[in-house]
Amino acid sequence: MNNRNVNYNEDIFDYIKVSEDEDDTNAVEIPCEHDGTLLLSTLVAQFPGACGLKYRHPETKSIRGIRLSDGKLHPPSEAGWGKNLYLCVFPKENKRKMEDVSSENSAAKTKRLEKKLTCSDLICLGLPWKSTEESIKQYFEQFGEVVMVQLKKDKNGSFKGFGFIRFATYASQMRALAQRHNIDGRWVDVRIPNSKEGVVPQMPCKVFVGRCTEDMTADDLREYFSKFGEVTDVFVPRPFRAFGFVTFLDPEVAQSLCGEDHVIKGASVSVSSAAPKIKSKSNQNWKDDSYGPNWDGNRSGPSGGSSNGGNSNIDTLNMQNLGINPNGGGPPANFNLPISLVAAALNQAGWGGFLGGPGSSGPNNWQGGPPQGNSGKNWNGNQNWGQNGPPPSWNQGQGGQGWNNGKGNWNQGNWPNGQGGWGGNSGGGSGPAGSSSGWSNNNKPQT
């Protein structure tokens, strides 16, 4: 990698000093990766809510930003991070740590956030047999403070392989939901439990970025938009389609950017709600929406598709540009998808709740089922939403979760073909619907 005179072995890390402000008495030394980068997730583990780093240049005395790309913060020079004090960058409108928002007795905004962004217990499925409440707590503390861990046992006291956790803050919860989890070599499924369906109203975390230029990469968008909040996903369709999608951890950040224009690489892009422009009432077909949902399928591919050796960091999951039909929005002609997946994809695209923009009736306006007269019946055709509306899993949209997470297929949220997408589904109705054989569990190779 670089020429730092470090004799790499597993036990040697470089540490960089990070603080929330230029008073370094509370600075924390954070380990870099062996390639000299610092993972944003490592930073966030120590400074929850942080979305980047900056530092005061010793010569110019001005603040310089640290390059963020693909979830990695890059040192400012070839020589590495040096002895600078690095300062956390927190999202706009929320200079402090997100965690502090709820712990501080500061005002209406606090209440608003607390109300909208409510924690719930999370179920952890597929835990290793050897897990203990302590080990699970320790694992999940990388996402924020863990206030509860319950591992379920039978009458004999033997562990049943699943349990519940709860984070102190919604931000932590979303962080945990935004990735896959490998604990002691097992892929552990973390979800909002069925019994809690409907209790976590969500706004879309994803925004549509229009007027992109061809030279804008996903990394460019991520880097630019990270200054507003933690970005969990970016999708730029290829071949070039002049738009992209950016997903934020915090739906409020996403909402706050809607309607704004931003300049990236010298070009003005427009940010808007990641919902299609409804041109006609007969929008059930895909022919005339202006851009279609993001048929990216870019979430939660199993380890085979990951560029970092199976680490499920969602930042590395922009693996493919599947399903984009260059002829227009919507699925390729050979898509023979169960409608449930179409529905899921809509929500992946940020349609969750069909909010119709910030001015509409808010997160709850999705109650009562989908639009266009499908009253009470969801698009799966095999279950009803009931009075609580669709399950929140519709909106989770992260980490491959929330897809049909009730029964049957895809319940691990993992893609069967190692590509993390739909590329292998060519016609014929093969695919997820009904085929429980071999697809529903990515844990098979494990013991």
Partner DNA sequence: GTTGAGCGTT
Contact positions toward DNA, by CB under 7 A? Answer: 120-121, 123, 125-129, 148, 150, 152, 156, 158-162, 164, 166, 186, 191, 193-196, 405, 407-408, 411, 440-441, 443, 446-447
CB under 8 Å to 219, separation ≥6 — which residues?
69, 70, 234
Which is nearer to DNA, 388 or 426 (by Cβ)? Answer: 388
DSSP state of 32: P
Tell me how far apart the alpha carbons of residues 367 and 352 are, in angstroms, rounded to a whole number.
Answer: 11
Q: How far is residue 422's CA from residue 406's CA, in Å, rounded to a whole number?
A: 20
For residues 89 and 227, the answer to whether their CB atoms sit within 8 Å is yes
Residues whose CB falls within 8 Å of the CB of residue 403, separated by 6 or more in sequence, listed in order: 341, 344, 393, 410, 413
Number of C-beta neighbours around residue 238 at 10 A:
13
Sheet containing 243-248: order of strands? 231-235, 243-248, 206-210, 267-273, 261-264
The minimum distance between CB 43 and DNA, in angstroms, equals 30
Give min distance, CB of 39 to DNA, in A.
27
Whichever of 199 and 242 has its CB closer to DNA, that residue is 199
DSSP letter, residue 67:
P
Q: In this complex, which beta carbon is closest to DNA, that of residue 164 or of residue 286? A: 164
Q: To the nearest whole angstrom, how small is the minimum distance from the Cβ of residue 163 to DNA?
A: 8
Question: Minimum distance between the CB of residue 90 and DNA, rounded to whole angstroms?
Answer: 30
Which DSSP string do the residues of 324-375 spell out, in sequence order? --TTSSS--TT----HHHHHHHHHHTT-GGG--STTSS-GGGGTTS-STT-T
Measured on CA atoms in the order 383, 294, 306, 14, is the torsion positive or negative?
negative
- For residues 254 and 320, the answer to whether their CB atoms sit within 8 Å is no
Residue 193's contacts (CB-CB under 8 Å, 6 or more residues apart) are 120, 121, 122, 123, 164
Nearer to DNA by C-beta: 76 or 338?
338
CB 221 within 8 A of CB 246: yes
- Contact criterion met (CB below 8 Å) for 274 and 347: no
Is the CB of 101 or the CB of 146 nearer to DNA? 146
Tokens of 349: 């695209």
Taking the complex as a whole, the smallest distance from the CB of residue 125 to DNA amounts, in Å, to: 4
Q: Which is nearer to DNA, 7 or 447 (CB)?
A: 447
Is the CB of residue 256 less than 8 Å from the CB of residue 228?
yes
Q: Tell me whether residue 6 or residue 199 sits nearer to DNA (CB atom).
A: 199
Identity of the residue, 126 or 390, whose beta carbon is nearer to DNA in the bound complex: 126
3 alpha-carbon distance from chain centroid: 34
In whole angstroms, the minimum distance from the beta carbon of 401 to DNA comes to: 9
By beta-carbon proximity to DNA, the closer residue of 57 and 152 is 152
| Nearer residue to DNA within complex by CB, 81 or 140 | 140
Pick 166 or 241: Cβ nearer DNA: 166
For 62, other C-beta atoms within 10 Å of its C-beta total 8
CB 214: neighbour CB atoms within 10 A? 12
User: Nearest approach, Cβ of 414 to DNA (angstroms)?
Assistant: 12
Cis peptide before 239 (omega within 30 of 0): yes
CB of 164 to DNA, least distance (A): 4
Instruction: Tell me the closest approach of the beta carbon of residue 405 to DNA, in angstroms.
Output: 6
